Amino acid sequence: MAYVGIISLYLACAGTILSIILGFRALKDKKEPLGILTHWASALSTLCITLSALSLVLALLTNDFNIAYVARHSARNLPLIYKISAFWAGQSGSLLLWLLIISFLSLVVQKNRKYQQNHLHIRLCIVINFVRLLFILLLLFVTPIFELLAERPFDGSGLNPMLQSLGMVIHPPVLFLGFSGFLIPFAFAVIGLWTNDTQATWLRHVGKWVLFAWLFLTMGIVTGGQWAYTELGWGGYWAWDPVENSSFFPWLTSTALLHILLLPNKHRLKRVWSYVLIVLTYTLTIFATFLTRSGVLDSVHAFAGGVLGQIFLAVLVVMAVFCFGLGWHKRQMLSMVPTESTLSNQGLSATGKTIVVGSVLLLMLFAGVLFGTMFPVITRVFTAREVVLDASFFNQLSVPLFLGTIFLMGMSPLLHKKASDIKILTKRLALPVLLALVAAVFTYLSTGHLAASVAFALAAFGFGTHLPVLLSPDSSRRWGGSLVHLGLLIIMVGITGSSIFVDDVLVSVEPGQEIVFGDYRLEYEGLTVRYGSERYTVGTTLAIVENGRCRGEITSEKTFWEGRDQPSTRVGILSTLKEDIYLNLAGWENTTAQLHLQRFALVSWIWAGSWVMYFGVLVALLGDMKLNVKGKQVKLWPRQMR
């Protein structure tokens, strides 16, 4: 298997180089057959990469422990699904997965007929293949993935028990899909400048790709949080850890980008800022990779340091210098206003201005979080003592900015058309203001917490302004975006609730004893022991009673593995719309158990809200397709504002 993998990687390398050379020749000689050959070479490379990935999957499935990677990350008794997810458990495997995703995206781009004019598809091919070449070279020479062991071990060392969870199956591929999705808008933007595209046709192509990548980036971040919440046992989903922040940077910049793309094409700001944000977003995905692999910052998630981090840093610097240099070189073209229009900054509508201010807020968030994350490096270089900033810094910095952004988001539907008419505006304002007041008063009276009242009032206000948009068929073009906004508001309610309304107790209980926790009574019956192959599990199940009625059961257990000094804990979560009860079996002595009980309000709103967001993006993406198929004028995703 290893040889098939290596040989196909070498072939992929050859195909990629060939495709780049042929592509340049095709552009120079303007010969059609050369262009077709470019595509064939690129497709061949995709085929070889797929083969290489398949051979790794097969090696994992057939326990081919000759391959060092398989021996290190898999084992005979590993369940099938984790054998497959062992593919991306290590450094080189995740690079191969990333390469595979880029390759499939390149196929999609090649197939698209819209890109065939003006040699655009050949240029796209060249840019994508440059990136692919980098990954292939890394996999061949820096972290060789099909490295063989001198002696074949009987069994592999297996996947770390903490990685054997659904999160490991879903989170990494989704996040990589998000990261690599931004390559396509990046390629369009760079090509647009390279070819002196004065009409900025590239702006027309990028919107959908940005939305696509943004969807998966969002999904990647949410699934990562959910994984941490259910697996790590401390009950949090976000800790402002450098690696977490590094996936948040491109999210912030691409969210700003999505909104800037809605500005009218004739607006001068649009071209410059779209270019800057596209390049920034893609550079930040590389930066995220660098941070995770370099060991520059202490993180609980990072891979061990190594030469790979330095390579990514070099790529990052070269790319940033090249792209921003190109942007500077072509600045006149970028800031050119199309001839037919005489509009300048004054011509921006109220919605347009809101978009600009909102984007500035998002970029401020980005700058602030970046500053806080890099603060240890800054102080290490410029002062004698390295200083690290903890979560409270990030919370204090970001909460006011987030609230401001959410407020603007809530305002945005109000400003849509005829906003200057006071009568219409008051009519539009009535429902949201009423909802906001109800939410604020209700929260303040029942909890007395001012910050929570403000946050919930803002969320209710947003619900109130977005609801009419979703109910009216006239505004179908804005359905997708409004659903995403609505989802974000639901997430905000969840984040506010789960970070403010928290209970936490540690109790030592004997069998038969009852625990009173908030409104609940939990009954501890004792510990149970289960034996499996090469492991045993100690667990406990508590019945949760509220007002004499049983609300459900909650189980937490610890599994000890033969030959590993590290147990793995499964926390028990009873999730309702109102709150989550979170149980962690911390330890025991004979039959006395130490239980860590936590309560987080409204956590499930975060996961629910994320689904509303995904649905909104799908509506926006598919809504546009309807237009292409039937030629109807019903669009769900506005390309640009009127």
Partner 1 sequence: MSRKKLKILLLSLLPLLLLGFLAFRAFENSAAYYYTISEVQANGVSEQKLRVKGQLVPDSVIYDASIPLLGFSLTDGDAHIQASYRGVLPDNFNHSEEVIIEGTLNSQGELLVSKLMLQCPSKYEGEE
Residues that bind partner 1 (CB under 8 A): 72, 89-91, 160, 162-163, 233, 298-306, 360-361, 363-364, 367-368, 371-372, 376, 385-397, 400-401, 506, 508, 558, 564-569, 584, 586-589, 592, 594, 596
Closest approach of Cβ 306 to partner 1, in Å? 7
Closest approach of Cβ 356 to partner 1, in Å? 10
Contact 52, 133 (CB under 8 A): no
Name which of 393 and 442 has its Cβ closer to partner 1. 393
Name which of 324 and 588 has its Cβ closer to partner 1. 588
Q: What are phi and psi of 337, to 5 degrees?
A: -95, 130
Taking the C-alpha atoms of residue 215 and residue 621, their distance in angstroms, rounded to an integer, is: 10
Closest approach of Cβ 225 to partner 1, in Å? 14
Nearest to 213 by CA among 128, 135, 278, 134: 278
Closest approach of Cβ 636 to partner 1, in Å? 33
Taking the C-alpha atoms of residue 82 and residue 169, their distance in angstroms, rounded to an integer, is: 7
Q: What are phi and psi of 165, to 5 degrees?
A: -150, 165
Name which of 129 and 584 has its Cβ closer to partner 1. 584
Name which of 485 and 558 has its Cβ closer to partner 1. 558
Cα dihedral 416, 420, 425, 429, rounded to 10, equals 70
Cα dihedral 609, 610, 614, 619, rounded to 10, equals 10
Closest approach of Cβ 172 to partner 1, in Å? 9
Q: What are phi and psi of 470, to 5 degrees?
A: -75, -25
Query: Distance of alpha carbon 276 from its chain centroid, rounded?
Result: 20
Name which of 518 and 587 has its Cβ closer to partner 1. 587
Contact 620, 628 (CB under 8 A): no
Give the DSSP letter string of 305-337. --HHHHHHHHHHHHHHHHHHHHHHHTHHHHTPP
Closest approach of Cβ 192 to partner 1, in Å? 25
Name which of 160 and 310 has its Cβ closer to partner 1. 160
Contact 216, 178 (CB under 8 A): yes
Name which of 433 and 586 has its Cβ closer to partner 1. 586
Closest approach of Cβ 560 to partner 1, in Å? 10
Name which of 425 and 450 has its Cβ closer to partner 1. 450
Give the DSSP letter string of 610-637. HHHHHHHHHHHHHHHHHHHHH--S--SS
Closest approach of Cβ 552 to partner 1, in Å? 23
Closest approach of Cβ 237 to partner 1, in Å? 15
Name which of 185 and 358 has its Cβ closer to partner 1. 358
Residue 522 three-state SS: strand
